[in-house]
Amino acid sequence: DKGGWSSFMAKEINEQPEAIANTVRGRIVGDSVEIPELTALGDDRLRGIDRIIIIACGTASYAGQIGAYAIEQWARIPVDVQLSHEFRYRDPVLTDRTMVISVSQSGETMDTLMAVKYAIEKGVTTVSVCNTQSATIPRESDAAVYTHAGPEVAVASTKAFTAQITALFLIGLHLGRVRGELSAEALAEAVQQFEELPEKMRAAVDTHAEITQLAHWMADTRSVLFLGRHVGFPAALEGALKLKEIAYIHAEGFAAGELKHGPIALIDHGQPVFVLVPSPRTAPLMHSKVVSNIQEIRARGARVIAIVEVGDTAVLPYADEVIRLPLTDALFEPILQVVPLQWFALELSTAKGLDVDQPRNLAKSVTVE
Ligand code: F6R
């Protein structure tokens, strides 16, 4: 049931405030974070972990990349992110102090399941971040940390993605607390961010009307670029993937700093570029770097669509379009920033008369290697 929406994807984008609230529920206790499934592993085991590898495919791997920044920051454990289908071929260094966290909406993705089985054989601790109760991957793993986004029907993942980031952040906070790496203030600050997040997410969902207008004049676009820095980089990759998947438009995401190392040659007159602009309050250095990137591409003719936090005026002279999102901490920004990008892909797909929920050549769950 699409609940009055034109597609499941539209419905699922709209459900993100609840998906996040449900994923957080029961895991914030007062000013602290506790995930009972991690507690069950034993604090000594969690304190002994010296390396984390996140494995996933597609959208889930971008959630993993965003989660990696937060886990490193809060728990001070080195984190790598690897695509499931590349993982075992590199003969990874795995010990009994390694934790492998798999991220999968379906919990049935064969590439990820095979990677988890490989990790289990090597004797590492396996944690599954999964949206589907009792799927194969969480059943095989030592611990299952479910995202409670509710069933996701559209092939293109939306609410599962933001719920995956949420779950990985909670894991980072839990590990940081148990390992004594996180001050009470930092923990309380993150808890506060989570409490405010559903309402901010609603504001991000409300960018729909603006994005619809934008997509309208861009219906003939043949290529779109996405730029981000830090956690905005994987969010840019996700924006590009959504557009390829459902609007069949060539799209690429870049780390903004990488521009001058090659991709800037792609910028030509009228090239649309979405830029995810970090907060000038909480990330002033990154913000000023990204504003210079915008100036560089604008000078070469790019059509810049800047996604900024409300009140950021530094980009105004250089952006053709500005999408404003509520203030939040730097780490949390991609959770909001991706929402207008989801709408953009949906509206371009619709403008081209395509089937938003069932893109060609794709299945919701990829159960072959
Ligand atoms: C993107 C998309 C795919 C999946 C990927 C992993 O919109 O749907 O990239 O994210 O196939 O699927 P799960 O999360 O089920 O393992």
Residue 13, amino acid: I
Computed over every residue of the chain, the mean pLDDT equals: 96
Assign 367 a pLDDT band (cuts: 50, 70, 90): confident
Q: Roughly how many angstroms between the first and final C-alpha of the chain, as a whole number?
A: 31
**Could you give the residue ranges of the DSSP H alpha helices within 141-183?**
159-178
Read off the DSSP letter of residue 5.
Answer: -
> Which tokens belong to 28?
């914030």
Which of 12, 13, 59 has most ligand 1 atoms within 8 Å of its beta carbon, as the pocket-test mutant? 59
Q: Which atom of ligand 1 is nearest to the CA of 58?
A: 9
Question: How many angstroms is it from 159 CA to the middle of ligand 1?
Answer: 12
pLDDT band at 79 (very low <50, low <70, confident <90, very high): very high
Statement: the pTM of the whole predicted model exceeds 0.95: yes
- Report the alpha-carbon distance of residue 161 to residue 54 in Å, rounded: 15
Atom of ligand 1 nearest to the CA of 105: 14
Here the ipTM equals: 0.98
| 242 given a catalytic annotation | no
How far is 127 from 125, CA to CA, in rounded Å? 7
Q: Which two tokens stand for residue 338?
A: 């991706």
Q: Is the beta carbon of 59 within 6 A of some atom in ligand 1?
A: yes
The mean pLDDT of 219-231, rounded to a whole number, is 95
Dist. CA 211–CA 205, nearest whole Å: 10
Secondary structure of residue 26 in the 3-state scheme: coil
Q: How far apart are CA 302 and CA 220, in angstroms?
A: 16
